[in-house]
Amino acid sequence: MKYIGLADCNNFFVSCERVFRPDLWGRPVVVLSSNDGAIVARSEEVKKLGVPMGVPYFKVRDELEKAGAKVFSSNFDLYSDISKRVMDTLHEELGVIYQYSVDEAFFTMEVKSVKEAKIELARLKTLIQKNVGVPLSFGLAPTMTLAKYASELEKRGSGVSVLTMKDWEVQRDTVSLSEIWGVGGATTQKMREHNLITVADFLSADNSRIEKIFGVNGTRLGSELRGIPAKMPENDEAQQKSIMSTRSFSKTTTSLAVLEEALAYHTARASEELRSSHSKAGKLSIMLGTNRHSEWVLQGATSESVLPYPTNDTIVLLREVERLARAIFVKDVPYKKAGVVLSQITADDHLQLDLFGSQQVSDNKLMSVIDTVNKNLGKDSITIGRARYKESWGSNHNFQSSRYTTSWSEIMRLR
C-alpha cells in the first residue's frame, strides 16, 4: 500500500547552530528573527521554560540569561545550506520528494508492513543525523494531513511514527481540530462556533454543511482526515507564486542612496533565487517602510510594475527598482525597512512568447557566469552595482554565528 511520509527537521534553526557547537546539546538555545527582534526558534530546553514562540527578545532576555541560554541571530546562509544537504540525502534515498519548507519534505513510500516501514525510516533518520548532523522526525500515513500529525507523535520519542487507519480511528475521537495541520486560530474559533471541537465531530458532520461553512478547503480536509488523499506530494509541486526579500534596518535612514543600495541587494537576492528555480517573473513590487510604532507609520509606501516581458535578469530588474524607488521616496521621512517582491512567476520552459515576436531576451549567459562564480568563490564575490550587503543599512545581528559551510573565511578551525 502506498503511504505518504513527512520528514521534519526538529527545531531546525537551533539544530543547525548545534551542528558546529556540540557543547550546546542539552543547553537552552534560541534563534532570533532578523534585526534580533523576536524569538523564531527554541530548543526543547527553552520550551520547557515556558518561553513562547514569537515573543520579543527584550521581554525574556533576563529569564534566558538566568537559565544560561545561548542566543543566536538568524544565519540563513547556514540554514539554507544545511537544508539542501538534508534534502539531497532524502532525494538520493527516496527518489522524488516534495520540499514543503526549509525543514520539511513530503514523499511517498510503498508499505508492506508497519515494522519494515519503521525500520527503513529509522535508518534514514540515523543516516541524516550522522552525515548532516540534524535530528529529524518521520511521519507516515495514508494522507499528507495525517502524515503531518504522525510526525508530531514521536518527536520526543523514537522520531519515527507510522499511523495506520486502524490506529487513527481509535485516536481521532480525542484529537482536537486545533492540532491538525492547516487549522489555524481563526479556523479553530469558527469550528468551535459550530460545535466542532474534535476530529470526530468534524467527520460526523454532514458534508454539505461542511462545504457550506468552510468551502472546498473544508471538503478537502474531510477527505484527508478520512484517509482519502485530496492531494499527493508529486502532484503538488505548483510553481512558487512569489519571491520576497526584505529586511528591517538597525537604524532609520532618510537617504535615498542608502535605500537604493538596500533595494539593489534585495533585488540581487530575489533574482538569484528566481534563476536557481529556472523561472522568470512578470511583476515587480517594492516597499519602503517606516517604524510602525512612530509618528511616521503612515508614510511607508509600495509600488509595483508589470514588466514588459518575464525576466530573471538582475540588471533589468535593478533599472525598474530604481525607477520605482525614486517615484515613492519622500524626503526627510525616516525609513526603517525596504524590500522587493517578484511575482507572476513562470517556469522557463512554460513561457509564452510575445505575439509579434518582440519579446526581449535577457543576457542569461552573464547571469549564469555570475551565479557560478558566487557559488564557487562565495556569495557576493561578484555583484552588480551596489547590490552588496552593507552594515550601514543592514539589520542588527549581534549574535551571528559563522557561515561554516558557505564562506572560506568563516570555516571551522580546530586547534
* Higher-pLDDT residue of 359, 233: 233
Burial of 268 (0-12, 13-18, 19+ CB in 10 A): buried
Domain ranges (residues) in the chain: 1-162, 172-238, 242-377
Residue of 3, 2, 1, 42 whose CA lies nearest to 151? 3
Residue 236 has what pLDDT? 45
What is the chain's Cα-based Rg? 24
CA dist 192 and 47 (Å) reads 27
Instruction: Identify any residues that bridge with 108 across adjacent strands, giving them in sequence order.
Output: 4
Q: Do domains 1-162 and 242-377 have the same CATH topology?
A: no
Kindly tell me if the per-residue pLDDT of 394 is higher than 70.
no
Contacts of 195 (CB under 8 A, 6+ apart): 201
Residue 11 has what pLDDT? 93
Torsion of CA 236, 156, 153, 95, to 10 degrees: 30
Q: Give the CB-side neighbour count of residue 37, counting CA atoms within 13 A.
A: 10
DSSP 174: T
CA dist 292 and 296 (Å) reads 7
**Confidence band, pLDDT 50/70/90 cuts, at residue 377:** confident
**CB-CB contact of 338 with 262 (8 Å):** yes
Q: What is the pLDDT of residues 306-352, one digit of tens each?
A: 988 899 999 999 999 999 999 999 999 999 999 999 998 888 766 65
Instruction: Identify any residues that bridge with 248 across adjacent strands, giving them in sequence order.
Output: 337
Residue 77 has what pLDDT? 85
DSSP 332: T
Options 1.10.40.30, 3.10.20.600, 3.30.1490.100, 3.40.50.2300; CATH of 242-377:
3.30.1490.100
Which range, 63-72, 183-192, 207-216, 351-360, has the best average confidence (pLDDT)?
Answer: 63-72
**Confidence band, pLDDT 50/70/90 cuts, at residue 358:** very low
> What's the mean per-residue pLDDT of the chain?
88
**Confidence band, pLDDT 50/70/90 cuts, at residue 203:** very high
Instruction: Please name the amino acid found at residue 78.
Output: L
Q: What is the pLDDT of residues 266-320, one digit of tens each?
A: 999 999 988 988 889 999 999 999 988 889 988 999 999 998 889 999 999 999 9
Q: Which fold has domain 172-238?
A: DNA polymerase; domain 1 (1.10.150)
For domain 1-162, the CATH class is alpha beta
